[in-house]
Amino acid sequence: MRYKIVNPKRTIIIVSIILAIIAVVVIVSFNFLKPKEKQVAKIEDIEETNIEKPDGEYIDIEELENEEEENIEQGNTIKNENSKENNNNTKNKMPYYIKVNYGAQVVTIYQKDSEGNYTKPVKAMVCSTGIATPKSGVYSIPARWEWLRLEGYVWGHYSTQITGNILFHSVPYLTKGDPASLEYWEYDKLGTYASAGCVRLTVKDAKWIFNNCAKGTKVEFYSDSNPGPLGKPTAKKISSYPDYLRNWDPTDTNSNNPWLTYKPEEITKPKNEIQNNIANEIKNEVVNEMVNEIVNNVVNEEVNEITNTILNSIVNENTNTTVQQ
């Protein structure tokens, strides 16, 4: 049998070509099968310059995009953009101007006067700001979400973005979409320096901004000991109430909110208070009995002494009269 002599150089070239083809096929297949990463906008792309990022509350951009799509589908757009007040008139699309006084922990809403300047105060809100709250500047509202995830996997209800990670929103909730999961211990801090940087509000106030302040509405930050022309409102302290009440924001107009039908007499007094009341009642009864007994004894002794004195006088007088006769 005769064997054909193989050219070594030719063999090496053929093998190299085959290996190259295999490598290309592997790379193409890997890229094709690899799941494509979703393009997510970076938070820095929408932030204003020179603004501190909060340590505790932040925006999850992917979550925001999903929420925005849901809001659009459900028709949850800003109410006043379609209202008669705006009437598609450019001059009326921004009827409000918001001032955040982080020194006094008050938000004041202003409306335009007859000359078109924002000088008419129409609403004041108690708030809580924090370390990353802007110390100055004017910003434009870019977006809003009914429920927004915050750091620590808690949720802000009626969240309106001011700039970057800074938002108006309710006191945090433990569960998305559950208005009965309020962090009541944080609610009691409203009116004090308490947030990571966002502007916390009652549900009623956060919802008002959510519904009435269109995208582009200006928000100004400043500090002053003077709360403003409408003063500083207060928020109810709820930590001492039973769970079925304190897990809800008292200002929430949700029909399931127990605060709407709550009557003060429904609250049962703490056990210690009841025991103290009973002890005080017993003590008062004992004291009253002792006092009455002492008074009665003294009075009886006095009466008896006076009576005996009078009787003795009468007897002695009668006796003397009889002897003389």
Distance between CA atoms of 163 and 4, rounded to whole angstroms? 79
Residue 45 φ then ψ, to 5°: -65, -20
242, 191 Cβ separation under 8 angstroms = no
198, 57 Cβ separation under 8 angstroms = yes
Amino acid at 237: K
Residue 167 φ then ψ, to 5°: -140, 160
CA distances 270 to 68, 160, 188, 244, Å, are: 46, 40, 20, 16
Q: Annotated catalytic, 169?
A: yes
* Token couple for 168: 């108006």
Question: What's the sign of the alpha-carbon dihedral 53, 57, 62, 64?
Answer: negative
Distance between CA atoms of 70 and 76, rounded to whole angstroms? 8
Q: Is 68 helix (H, G, I), strand (E, B) or coil?
A: helix
Q: Annotated catalytic, 127?
A: no
Radius of gyration of the chain (CA): 40
The residues facing 133 across adjacent strands are none
Please, is 67 exposed, middle or buried when counting C-beta atoms within 10 Å of its C-beta (0-12, 13-18, 19+)?
A: buried
Helix (H) or strand (E) holding 69: helix 61-74
Residue positions annotated with a catalytic role: 169, 198
